[in-house]
Structure 1
Amino acid sequence: MRKGVAIALALCVIAAVPSVGNADTKKERDYLRLVMDTFCDHVEAIELLTANPSKYSDNVVRHADAIANTEGLLDHAFPGDEHMEGSSHWPWRNETEFDRLVHAMHMATKELATAAQFWIKDRDRVRFMATLDKMRESCLACHEVSPDPEHSCEIPKSS
């Protein structure tokens, strides 16, 4: 019985997730979803590690580097222009605008990786979290109107 419920739930999720990055096949959509989930997991890990420094706190650098590397896996996933079916939910109008947003995200993740190095030395969480928030803003430039809010990084901004 549980297996049947799990399969039904998985099928509902697959049906509910729109064409991620305009992937052509289910395998491509699954891959892009996996990459986004990995990205989100690293952001959540940074939140946890910086909230209460512990023996694992130095892993903030590894997670920040992983975010920068994971971001690089997505920069070629232009999902199309406004004339494509189902594209009205994306905030950009053309590939040039998409490339501009990708570049901003790339720079923000690199700044986060650099800020993590400084955080290890000074443990200035406020400054580090400001850099993480800046990166989140670059995420939101594309994903604030994401058609898939249930599967986006829903991590609140630091306070």
Structure 2
Amino acid sequence: MKNLIVLILLFVFAGASTVKAQGIIDKANNLLNKADNASSTANRAGGTSDKVLGIFKKKKKVDAAATAPANALTGYKTVITIKGITMENLRKLNANVKACAGVDSTKMKFSGTGSIILVAHAHGSTEDLLTALEKTSKAIFTDKNIEGMEDGKIDIAR
């Protein structure tokens, strides 16, 4: 008889805790639905939640060489990427590029993983620019350091 009473009480308590757990789950589900509704309302109102949450997102670290595609170089004709160059040598190379005939302007970006020089030149091809640069920059790089050259792009590794 005692076993029967204990068993009945066990089922009653187990049933009550299941009901409580279901109630908690229902409340959490209601809160999530309200949050979804508020989010969709904000998105319809112009993406306000995305704008607010965008402040708190972690920014990605961007490699300088990876930011060199032609679409980001409005007004530039040639991109020179240099791996393993010091800031001092990058400045010297940039000055040598500026001294080349036909070069209108340059913009350099330094990074330990890969630096770039963006070159706007009025006339001449990328090959002409490289030929002129090799003559003035022998102390910085030679033919063996050139990893690649194509129209609009020169790759150098030191």
TM-score normalized by the length of structure 1: 0.22
Q: From the CA coordinates, give the structure whose radius of gyration is larger.
A: 2
Higher helix share: 1
Report which of the two has the higher share of strand: 2
TM-score under structure 2 length normalisation: 0.22
